Amino acid sequence: MSSTVIHDHGAHDSHAAHQPSFARRWLMSTNHKDIGTLYITAAVVAGIVGGGLSMLMRAQLMYPNNTIVSNGQEWNAIVTAHGLIMIFWLVMPALIGGFGNWFVPMMIGAPDMAFPRLNNMSFWFLVMGFIFVILGLVVGQGSGVGWTLYPPLTDSTYSPGVSTDFTLFSLHLAGISSLLGAINFIATILNMRAPGMTMHKMPLFVWAILVTAFLLLLAIPVLAGAVTMLIMDRNFGTSFFEPGGGGDPVLFQHLFWFFGHPEVYIMILPAFGIISHVVSTFSKKPIFGYFGMVYAMVAIGFLGFIVWAHHMFVSGISVDSRIYFEVATLVIAVPTGVKVFSWIATMWGGSIEFKTPMLFAVGFIFLFVVGGATGIVLANAGLDQELHNDYFLIAHFHYVLSLGAVFAIFAGFYYWIGKMSGHQYPEFWGKLHFWTTFVGVNLTFFPMHFLGLAGMPRRYPDYPDAFAGWNYVSSMGAFLSGISTLVFFYVMYRVFTSKVVLADNYWGEGATTLEWVVPSPAPHHTFEDVPVIR
């Protein structure tokens, strides 16, 4: 993607004149970069809270018969909040609201998002949602229903009190936030590309966000419907999911996973986008098989909507359903494989520099493949009967999320922090962060495969003593990961206190997308004149 840009380095100064007040800039922001920064800040805060909860959980599980968490209800509330926070307030805001807001307009040569005020509104809905999910954790006995919210446990009989209502409403708020964001991204990408930026010249990260936005647009309303029905069942005497009133708890599972499976791709497609850019930049080679990469994402997005009941193999769905959902799920591995092999082919023949972002990207590729492989195992309904809801499942989705999506977030952070802040991260500390994280998370999650095969169920605060060994190892890994986060905070400290001035394109020849032709940090208004792409 060769590009030329007519742009004016003086542009920055001409705007320095009307500096908005702090409140105006951050509380009423309409600038995509500022909103992106807000999203990333929110993700860091959520990451600290959600990560703190996971440290608590691993401390409890370090030994059998442990008493750090005082009872099962408290435990369930922690598990619920951890899952929801990590998904809706860490991974999604970082990848979509954060990097998406920052770089989609820049990469397509647009001055800003299509609807700047809507953009601001999306962010504040997210903050409200976060307050609600925390209330769901701390008010009363806490909402201990699991992130999957399955009724009847979610009903007012079994989860009395207002905390579960807080949790349910938090999903409405996060949902509206995502939905508005999705509309904004679709409008921006379809309408505001610079002249010459055809769809088939769009950078892969933009494609990834576009597909993600469509997934959100179709999936979030279904979640909203299901959550609304739960709220009605709890508070207004309906019985959508109550067998006593002719309702069906399994219906909820269908609705939830019709949202839930696309949701997992909502979390990973933007990560795919980031990894493509990082791999290409540090290999100093263009993406291998650009069209394959684009249409693999489109295919994954489409297939993501027709596999949902692989989460329900043990819910009593029929034999034919199990066979269909198994086969459909296996099919997704094909476009996923195309992505993985194309990344490796992009590296093949390259002149690869292993800076921190590239370390995280290569780490991502390997660990994502491990998670994908266990996904294939779980897709076999006959094996899922053995592994469903046990630690093998926990290992699977943490490999694709905590080691996949989160590695991509770090890759993106190290790749773009110079562009966002104007300061470079310290390479040594970045690499140290990578290696401590890599060792820590593998030590945490790999033993979970063994625990799962041996039959340890998920969402247990206490377990039979035979599971003690691997749980101890896993907790040690978790604490190492916790320490690695401190290294990351130190990296951030160094970034914000650095005085070094950065070039526009500090990665050099490999970085070819439009964000690399504007100064670092990117000025408040990116393009004073419309760039023209040839």
Partner 1 sequence: MRFSGWRVSLGALVLLAFGMPHLAFADGYVIAPKPWEMWLPQPGSPMEARIDHFMAFVLWIMAGVVGFVALLLAYVIVRFNAKRNKVPSTVTHNVVVEVLWTVIPAVILLVVAWPSINLIRYEADYQKPYMIVKVTGHQWYWEYDYKSVKGLDFTSYMIPDDKLQPGQIRRLSVDHPMVVPAGEKIEFEITSADVLHGFYLPSLGVQRYAIPGQIVHSWTLLTKPGTYYGECNQICGINHDAMPIEIQALPMDQYQAWVKKAQAEYADNTPNRTPAVVRPALVQLAQATR
Instruction: Report if residue 287 touches partner 1, rule: CB under 8 A.
Output: yes
Q: Which of 39, 89, 102, 147 is catalytic?
A: 147
Q: Which two tokens stand for residue 147?
A: 């992130």
Residue type, 354: F
Backbone angles phi, psi at 181, to 5 degrees: -60, -40
Residues 324-353 that bind ligand HEM (CB under 6 A): 329, 332-333, 336
**Active-site residue, selected from the candidate residues 12, 25, 431, 458:** 458
Which member of 229, 296, 393, 406 binds ligand HEM (CB under 6 A)? 393
* Beta strand spans in 136-239 (E): none
> Could you give the 3-state DSSP secondary structure of residue 147?
coil
Give 354 or 489: the residue with its C-beta nearer to partner 1: 354
Site for ligand HEM (CB under 6 A): which residue of 379, 448, 478, 517?
Answer: 379
Given the rule CB under 8 A, which of 82-90, 187-195, 270-278, 331-339 is the region that contacts partner 1? 331-339
Is 311 one of the catalytic residues?
yes
For residues 81 and 136, the answer to whether their CB atoms sit within 8 Å is yes
Q: How far apart are CA 500 and CA 522, in angstroms?
A: 15
Q: Which residues pair with 532 in a beta bridge?
A: 4
Burial letters 404-421, b for 16+ CB under 10 A, else e: bbbbbbbbbbbbbbbbbb
Angle at 202 between CA 199 and CA 205, to 5 degrees: 130
Q: Min. distance of Cβ 50 from ligand HEM in angstroms?
A: 14
428's tokens: 């040594």
Per-residue contact string for residues 267-306; x = within reach of ligand HEM by CB under 6 A: xx--------------------------------------
Q: The tokens of 17 are what? A: 């004149």
461 interacts with partner 1 by CB under 8 A: yes
What value, to the nearest 5°, has the Cα angle with vertex 502 and ends 501 and 503?
Answer: 130
Q: Is 400 a residue that touches ligand HEM (CB under 6 A)? A: yes
Which letter does DSSP use for residue 148 in this model? T
Q: Which does 480 bind (CB under 5 to 8 A by kind): ligand HEM, partner 1, Cu ion, none?
A: none
Which option in ligand HEM, Cu ion, partner 1, none does residue 144 bind, with CB closer than 5 to 8 A by kind? Answer: partner 1
Residue 244 touches partner 1, criterion: CB under 8 A: yes
Q: Which two tokens stand for residue 509?
A: 């020849």
- List the catalytic residue out of 33, 58, 82, 398: 82
Q: How far apart are CA 435 and CA 484, in angstroms?
A: 8
484 binds, among partner 1, Cu ion, ligand HEM, none (CB under 5 to 8 A by kind): none
Task: Indicate which single residue of 11, 162, 432, 453 sits in contact with partner 1 (rule: CB under 8 A).
Answer: 453
Pattern 250-279, binding to Cu ion, x per CB under 5 A? -----------x------------------
Amino acid of residue 347: M
Q: Per CB under 8 A, which region of 51-59, 181-189, 312-320, 437-445 contacts partner 1?
A: 312-320
Q: What string marks each residue from 363 to 382 as x (binds partner 1 by CB under 8 A) or -?
A: --xx--xx--xx-xx--xxx
| Whether residue 524 lies in the annotated active site | no
Phi, psi of 532 (to 5 degrees): -115, 125
Q: Are 180 and 122 in contact (CB under 8 A)?
A: yes
Which CB sits closer to ligand HEM, 91 or 420? 91
Query: What does the alpha-carbon distance between residue 260 and residue 83 come to, in Å, rounded to a whole number?
Result: 13
Annotated active-site residue 475? The verdict is: no
Q: Which residue has tokens 């936030």?
A: 177
Among 230, 264, 511, 514, binds ligand HEM (CB under 6 A): 264
Taking alpha carbons only, the member of 507, 513, 506 closest to residue 204 is 513
Active site residues: 82, 112, 147, 177-178, 261, 263, 265, 276, 310-311, 336, 339, 458
Q: Which residues bind Cu ion (CB under 5 A)?
A: 261
